[in-house]
Every structure is written in C-alpha cells, then in structure tokens.
Amino acid sequence: MTTRETARGIAIVIVLSGLGARGAAAAASDPRELEAKTACLGGHADRGIELLAQLFAETNDPTYIYNQGRCFEQNGRAPEAITRFREYLRKTPGLADADRAEVQAHIAQLQAPGPPPTPAPAAAVPASAPPAPVADTSAPAVSTDAGHRWRVAGIATGAAGAAFVLGGVYMGLRARALADDVTTDANNGVYARGKYDDGQRAATLQWVGYGVGVAALLGGGAMCWWGVKQKQTGPEGDRIAWLPLWDGRSAGAMARVTF
C-alpha cells in the first residue's frame, strides 16, 4: 500500500525553533485520538465516531473522516463505512492515485456479497486416478517502500537545517564586521549607536541560526534513519500525513498517522 498505516491513530509533532534555550520541542497528540481508537476497537463504535467527528470539526483534517470509515468497518457496519470513505474521497480531491485506490478497495470489499453457497460434494475419484493438479493462482506478495515519505521529509528538514546554519555563519560575519566598525569609530572619537545595535542583533541571529540549524539537521537525520529502517515493510506500510507548523516564532512539521 502507501506509507500511511503503520502506527494508527498517533500524531507525532516535531517542532524546531530558535531564540535562546527554546531549541527543539515536541507536542503530544490530542488524547481523544487514543480514546477514539480504543472505543472503535472495543466495539463502542458510536463513541469513537463521536470523538472523531469532534476532532474533524475542530481541525478540518479529512483524516478523521477516513478513520470514521475504518471504525465502522471494524465494527461490521458496512453501509456507514462506505458513506464515510466516499466522503473522505470527496474531501481530498488531490489524493495520490495509490491512496485513492486503497480507499476504493475498502469500498469494493465492503460492497462485495456474502460468502458463496457451499458447493455440492464432488463425485468420488477412482483410487487409480491421480489427483488433478491445482494451479497456484495466488498473487505474489507485493513489497513497497514504506519509509519513502520519512526519507523525503528527513532530506527536506536537513536541507532547511543547512540553510539555517549558513544563515548563522552569515550573521556571525556581519556581527564581526560591525564590531570592527564600532571599534574604529570609537578610536576616532565617534560613537555609532545604530551600528552597535545592528551588531548585537546580528550576533543574536547568528546563534539562533546555529541552534535551529543543528536541531533541524539532527531531526532530518533521525527521519532519514527511520525511513531507511521502514523500507520494504509490505502493503500495510505507514499512512502518514505531514502538516507544516508555524506560529510566527517557531517552525516545524506534524505527522498524523491514520489507523
């Protein structure tokens, strides 16, 4: 399958930000996600559906609609599951072809008729007749790269970290140049307050760039490592949706995994 269904119902948040000791921070997922998953697996579908509806109303994340379909499916409520899967497809017009095919496969399986009637017993075969050969029609196992998105996200995060480090180097050089100018002006009996303030600001941004850059490089390396580890996990690979995070002072990414 695609890489979106490994650790179902868990949201992992990685926040990479600067300014002093803030560094990199992680935020836990909404506890209602775990409660919804527990309710669905425990046979309390209505409670799980209600929690997922609340989460969708607050976030507009169509992943919760998909999880409603899975909840109904797990509890044998096929018509309602089909309705939620179709609503998920309607809400995600830009869904990748492989992901869309996976959802449509769920719908097709739910629409399939019940088991066929038991066939009449075959006529007895004479003892001398050899058994008829049976053709092996089973499809070969499909192996997919379940860590692809992890590696892509890791590379992107690492590239952003490298950019921050380069920015820190630039600000460090600027701070040094401004400090030399202030020293020269002071020797000539001139005090340039504007140059001094610019130098202090550049020095601060230098360390912000280093801090955020190093944190992003480490986070990107960790995601690449995990992506390599998850490579070739089979058709039930990760089901991960990446969402960027930005609050004006900190930047990062949130990975929401469906179940």
pLDDT of residue 17: 33
Tokens of 7: 């650790």
Comparing 202 with 257, the larger pLDDT belongs to 202
pLDDT of residue 39: 93
Give the pLDDT confidence of 94-137 residue by residue, as tens digits.
989 999 999 999 999 999 876 544 554 544 445 555 555 555 55
Give the pLDDT confidence of 11-39 residue by residue, as tens digits.
333 332 332 333 333 334 789 999 999 99
Q: Taking the model in full, what pTM does it have? A: 0.38
Residue 215 has pLDDT above 90, yes or no: yes
Alpha-carbon span 30 to 120, nearest angstrom? 54
Alpha-carbon span 131 to 124, nearest angstrom? 11
pLDDT of residue 245: 60
For domain 30-111, the question of CATH label 3.40.47.10 is answered with: no
Among 89, 129, 123, CA closest to 106: 89
Comparing 17 with 227, the larger pLDDT belongs to 227
pLDDT, mean over the chain: 75
Residue 51 has pLDDT above 80, yes or no: yes
Comparing 44 with 226, the larger pLDDT belongs to 44
Give the pLDDT confidence of 167-180 residue by residue, as tens digits.
989 999 988 898 88
C-alpha distances (whole Å) from 82 to each of 65, 86, 102, 108, 116 are 11, 6, 13, 9, 22
Give the pLDDT confidence of 76-93 residue by residue, as tens digits.
999 999 999 999 999 999
Given its phi and psi angles, is residue 123 left (phi above 0), alpha (psi -120 to 50 degrees) or beta?
beta
